[in-house]
């Protein structure tokens, strides 16, 4: 399978402190890949370098073969790299569908207008995105009354309006109840399968990671210590040491590969 993302020898230093050190990896087209690691391992720093928020100190980032290292966030986004954040970024005073319509206006490069007729634009298209995340029945509800899990699904719909080739998800299930976490990631897995979008996500909940990731990478103190299938990562002694001081990290039945 060819790669949507290739990262070579990525490094980020802050005043001499090395947050990410010589990291190289790939994400295949149509892959759902997890980037895990303890707090402060360098996951967000990695994401920030992929999206152009931070310029790498060294190394290169290729999107579908094109070198995008150091490009501005907006350029990277226009090239098809989307991102969702741990804290949702919807407009609370607007309805669910208006949030999606506004994202579509941006995607189609239409100037946003507060004129009432602006809300007729892209309404059908917006419904399709809401349908993808099973939110069409909540289209006309204000965002301020949505349950947290519904806000996360809405944020996913908004990210999809830009037709990302690669979607980076920063702790997508943070703050959710365990059953809602698995449900949200099942939705993401379905989207990956049905639409061929590639997803790279960070996550602290191992049940979510093992249930859905095709492959897992492990960062520790800025260095990539594992990159492989669930089974390979589970059996990696260095990973077990990092997580549980040598104890068992994974249950056999969790593995799919
Ligand atoms: N702008 C910055 N200036 C200085 N140090 C930073 C900066 N951003 C991150 N760091 C440091 O780099 C290291 C990696 O941080 P990062 O946020 O990437 O880790 P993380 O794996 O995403 O952690 P978490 O799981 O807690 O979100 C940490 O030690 C952090 O304090």
pLDDT in tens, 184-215: 999 999 999 999 999 999 998 888 898 999 99
- Name the nearest CA neighbour of 84 among 161, 30, 3: 161
CATH number of this structure's domain 1-80+165-178+200-257: 3.40.50.300
3-state helix, strand, coil in the chain (%, to 5): 40, 25, 35
Q: What is the pTM of this model?
A: 0.90
Domain residue ranges of the chain, discontinuous segments joined by +: 1-80+165-178+200-257, 93-163
* 114 to 89, 102, 105: CA distances (angstroms): 19, 10, 12
Compute, in angstroms, the gap from residue 223 CA to the centroid of ligand 1.
13
Compute, in angstroms, the gap from residue 78 CA to the centroid of ligand 1.
26
Scanning the structure block, which residue is given the tokens 């895990």? 36
pLDDT in tens, 119-135: 677 889 999 999 999 99
* 20 to 174, 220, 236: CA distances (angstroms): 23, 9, 21
- Name the nearest CA neighbour of 3 among 215, 254, 232, 241: 215
- Ligand 1 atom with minimal separation from the 219 CA: 21
Query: Residues lining ligand 1, judged by CB closer than 6 Å?
Result: 14, 17, 19, 37, 39-45
- Name the nearest CA neighbour of 35 among 226, 185, 192: 226
Quote the tokens at residue 236.
Answer: 């990696």
pLDDT in tens, 129-186: 999 999 999 999 998 899 888 999 999 999 999 999 999 999 999 888 888 898 899 9
Amino acid 257: pLDDT = 41
Compute, in angstroms, the gap from residue 19 CA to the centroid of ligand 1.
7
């Amino acid at each position: 399978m060819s790669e949507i993302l290739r990262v070579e020898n990525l490094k980020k230093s802050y005043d001499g402190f090395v947050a990410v050190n010589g990291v190289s990896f790939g994400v295949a087209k149509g892959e759902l890949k997890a980037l895990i690691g303890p707090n402060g391992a360098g996951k967000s720093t990695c994401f920030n370098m992929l999206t152009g928020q931070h310029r790498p100190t060294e190394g290169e980032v290729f999107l579908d073969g094109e070198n995008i290292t150091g490009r501005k966030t907006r350029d990277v986004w226009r090239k098809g790299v989307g991102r969702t954040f741990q804290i949702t970024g919807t407009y609370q005073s607007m309805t669910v569908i208006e949030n999606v319509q506004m994202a579509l206006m941006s995607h189609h490069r239409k100037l946003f207008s507060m004129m009432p007729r602006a809300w007729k634009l892209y309404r059908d298209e917006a419904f399709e995105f809401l349908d993808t995340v099973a939110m069409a029945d909540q289209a006309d509800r204000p965002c301020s009354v949505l349950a947290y899990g519904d806000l996360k699904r809405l944020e996913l719909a908004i990210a999809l309006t830009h037709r990302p080739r690669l979607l980076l998800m920063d702790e997508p299930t943070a703050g959710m109840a365990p059953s809602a976490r698995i449900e949200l990631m099942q939705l993401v897995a379905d989207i990956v399968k049905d639409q061929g979008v590639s997803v790279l996500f960070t996550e602290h909940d191992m049940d979510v990671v093992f249930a859905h990731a095709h492959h897992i990478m492990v960062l520790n103190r800025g260095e990539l210590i594992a990159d492989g299938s669930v089974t390979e990562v589970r059996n990696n002694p260095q990973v077990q040491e990092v997580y549980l001081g040598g104890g068992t990290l994974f249950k056999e039945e969790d593995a799919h590969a």
